[in-house]
Amino acid sequence: MLGAITLLLVCQFAGEAVTMAAGLPVPGPVVGMALLFVGLLIRRRLRAGESLPDIPEDLERTATGLLSHLSLLFVPAGVGVMLYLPLIAEEWLAISVSLVASTLLTIALTALLMAWLVRIPGSGPSANETGCGETDP
Amino acid sequence: MTRDLHEIWVYLSASPLLGLTVTLVAYQAGYWLYRKSGHNPLVNPVLIAVVALVALLKLTGTDYLTYFEGAQFVHFLLGPATVALAIPLFQQLQQLRKSLLAIVISVTAGSLTAAVSAVAVAWALGASRETLLSLAPKSVTTPIAMGIAEKIGGLPSLTAVLVILTGMTGAMFTTYMLNLLGVKDWRARGLAIGVASHGIGTARAILVHPLAGAFAGLAMGLNGIATALLLPLLATWIF
């Protein structure tokens, strides 16, 4: 677990460094995610033929553990709502209608567009045939 | 006796331990209710925890900064957790490769819809300019959204709050919306919730189906990038 956490932090740190150095508009952790993803791709290529799991077991377990309570991590920032209660009280109608309408519209448009686009090439596998957590062979 | 209790309270409320502990306890309580309800999306654990904590802080007269001194340890984990999203993504590599173009088109369309529709509706209902600019990046994950808000002239900390309200709205209503529309494809369902409600939506998608979780995580990342690139351009053009 310690190794996996260290790896996650190293990726985040490298991501922050890249973002700062290149002046990217994207935050460090997102670049860190891309770096880890590319790292896993390279690792698999180097180890092609060996019968090892594609993702180190320790990393997989730690990542799954961290992500299983992802929504907890938003609570501290969410409590920040208390700083804006007066402003929100003043504009509550505009804010709440806008949030709900825009969120529902975005969900509907994205889902319908994606569902339509993946059907175009013809006989792609339907989602319910797909196994859980399968990895590339 | 009362005096001792008072001293203990003063000591504890000044230490970061209290903010951290109440955050975990409030979330556990919210999560317990969520499980009891049979994972009903309307019983959102983040919403329950936030409401309980705001009430507690108001009642005890604690300010947000004091609370955040403890809660920052939880907040900090957002970074490593974002990096960890590479794992579900990698597990679904084959699926992603097959539909990469569809993903990029859908996410870009979703990103523009989220920003434009939010600003348009709020403007029509008379929101202030500050609110409009803070509202624009609301579908993007917190750190990116705050960066964008700063760039276009909104209030980053108000944006953080709006982002979380959006995440909860999405996590609570997506299931009903998609069932109503008859979208059964887990890739499309995951992608939609990831675009519209970032990490909080992704957290729910991960619990519902692994394929939806991976697509949600990917959509969240791509939407962050798309919005960070498009919104500043759009903002200078509109405002």
Spans of chain A below 50 pLDDT: 122-137
What confidence category does residue B176 fall into, taking pLDDT thresholds of 50, 70 and 90? very high
Q: Does the pLDDT of residue B154 top 80, yes or no?
A: yes
Q: What confidence score (pLDDT) does residue A129 get?
A: 42
CB contact under 8 A, A101 and B117: yes
Tokens of B109: 């369309």
pLDDT per residue as tens digits for the range B52-108: 999 999 999 999 999 999 999 999 998 899 899 889 888 888 888 888 999 999 999
Q: Spell out which residues of chain A touch residue B88, defining contact as CB-CB under 8 Å.
A: 63, 67
Tell me what the pLDDT averaged over chain B comes to. 90
Q: What confidence score (pLDDT) does residue A135 get?
A: 33
Minimum distance, in Å, between the CA of residue B237 and any CA atom of chain A: 18
Question: What is the mean predicted confidence (pLDDT) over B37-57?
Answer: 92
Q: Checking phi first, is residue B7 left (phi over 0); if not, alpha (psi -120 to 50) or beta?
A: alpha
- B51 or B82: which leads in pLDDT: B51
What confidence category does residue B148 fall into, taking pLDDT thresholds of 50, 70 and 90? confident
- Write phi, then psi, for A11 (nearest 5 degrees): -60, -45
Q: What confidence score (pLDDT) does residue B51 get?
A: 94
Q: What confidence score (pLDDT) does residue A28 get?
A: 84
List the single best residue of A95, A119, A132 to mutate versus B (max B Cβ within 10 A).
Answer: A95
CB contact under 8 A, B117 and A106: yes
The interface residues of chain B toward chain A in range 123-182, judged by CB-CB distance below 8 A, are: 125-128, 131, 135, 138-139, 141-144, 147-148, 151, 157-158, 160-171, 173-174, 177-178, 181
B122 to chain A, any CB pair closer than 8 A? The answer is: yes
CB contact under 8 A, A103 and B173: yes
- Dist. CA A81–CA A97, nearest whole Å: 17
Q: Does the pLDDT of residue B202 top 60, yes or no?
A: yes
Q: Does the pLDDT of residue B46 top 70, yes or no?
A: yes
* Residue of A11, A31, A9 lying closest to A20 (CA atoms): A31
| Cβ-nearest to B68 among A30, A76, A110 | A76
pTM, 2 dp: 0.82
* Residue of B141, B140, B145, B168 lying closest to B156 (CA atoms): B145
ipTM of model over 0.90: no
Task: Please give the torsion angle defined by the CA atoms of residues B133, B138, B195 and A4, in that order, rounded to the nearest 10 degrees.
Answer: 120
Tell me if A73 sits within 8 A of B78, measured CB to CB: yes
Q: What confidence score (pLDDT) does residue A121 get?
A: 60
Tokens of B50: 């936030």
Q: What confidence score (pLDDT) does residue B224 get?
A: 86
Tell me if B68 sits within 8 A of B75, measured CB to CB: yes
CB contact under 8 A, B84 and A66: yes
Q: What confidence score (pLDDT) does residue B239 get?
A: 65
CB contact under 8 A, A75 and B107: no
Q: Does the pLDDT of residue B221 top 90, yes or no?
A: no
Q: What confidence score (pLDDT) does residue B98 get?
A: 86
Q: Spell out which residues of chain A touch residue B78, defining contact as CB-CB under 8 Å.
A: 29, 73-74
What confidence category does residue B16 fall into, taking pLDDT thresholds of 50, 70 and 90? confident
Q: Cα angle at A131 between A126 and A136, to 5 degrees?
A: 100
CB contact under 8 A, A102 and B71: no
